[in-house]
A and B are shown apart, each in its own frame.
Chain A
Amino acid sequence: DGGITQSPKYLFRKEGQNVTLSCEQNLNHDAMYWYRQDPGQGLRLIYYSQIVNDFQKGDIAEGYSVSREKKESFPLTVTSAQKNPTAFYLCASKSPEALLFFGSGTQLSVL
């Protein structure tokens, strides 16, 4: 069935390590998004991509990187420069009607 698939569900990062969160969609949407959510807080925009091979920084892009080589995929790398990476990460794609469809999220924790 159609939707957004995020993996893994849980991820642990060692200090100084880069980790990559996967996001795949089969909704044929052009635009995709990454949000970060801290406990009890709202969603903050990290990066977004309007189309393949294009992406823009959101409000909290420092310490993160993305790529958009395929329409279906928008992976997020949490680099060692992100000193406080523990959070719930949500990926979404946007329909032509400006509706966001979210994945089930990845909980990232630091060892």
Chain B
Amino acid sequence: LAKTTQPISMDSYEGQEVNITCSHNNIATNDYITWYQQFPSQGPRFIIQGYKTKVTNEVASLFIPADRKSSTLSLPRVSLSDTAVYYCQSASSYKLIFGSGTRLLVRP
């Protein structure tokens, strides 16, 4: 099963772009890469998913290099409300496990 590694925490300021990188060295051919956001006392919610190259939606971009051993979540112009824990997940099987996540703190 793929295991993901992320930085434990990151600090940023309002209006900055934040990039969070996840390592998934053992990613399988069929695995997609999915990122979730979690606020305290809530369930995680889906942010973005990709397989390779670049994916962009209304809230984030996801960059995946050709070897797919890592991925980078990019949050443009963060606000205070983006303070949360961000999880990456790489899986295609049913046993979906999470890493420890990255705690992002956005300061005024």
Q: Report which A residues bind B (CB closer than 8 A).
A: 4, 31, 33, 35, 41-45, 48, 50, 56, 58-59, 88, 90, 92, 94, 97-105, 107
Contact = CB atoms under 8 A, between A and B. Distances in A.
A111 B88 CA distance: 35
23 contacts: A33-B96, A42-B87, A42-B101, A44-B97, A45-B96, A45-B97, A45-B98, A48-B94, A48-B96, A58-B95, A58-B97, A90-B43, A90-B44, A94-B96, A98-B34, A98-B92, A99-B49, A100-B44, A100-B46, A101-B46, A104-B43, A105-B41, A105-B43
Contacts of A50: 94
Nearest to B6: A42
Given A99-B34, A104-B42, 12 more contacts: A4-B43, A42-B99, A42-B100, A43-B87, A45-B95, A45-B97, A88-B41, A98-B49, A100-B36, A102-B45, A103-B43, A105-B41
B47 to A, nearest CB: 10
Nearest first, the 5 A-B pairs at minimum CB distance are: A102-B43, A43-B98, A42-B100, A50-B94, A90-B43
Given A42-B100, A98-B34, A56 B95 contact: yes
A27 to B, nearest CB: 13
B91 interface: yes
A87 B45 CA distance: 19
Nearest to A4: B43
Nearest to B32: A98
Contact of A92 (B32, B43, B95): B43
B87 A100 contact: no
Contacts of B94: 31, 48, 50, 56, 94
Contacts of A56: 94-95
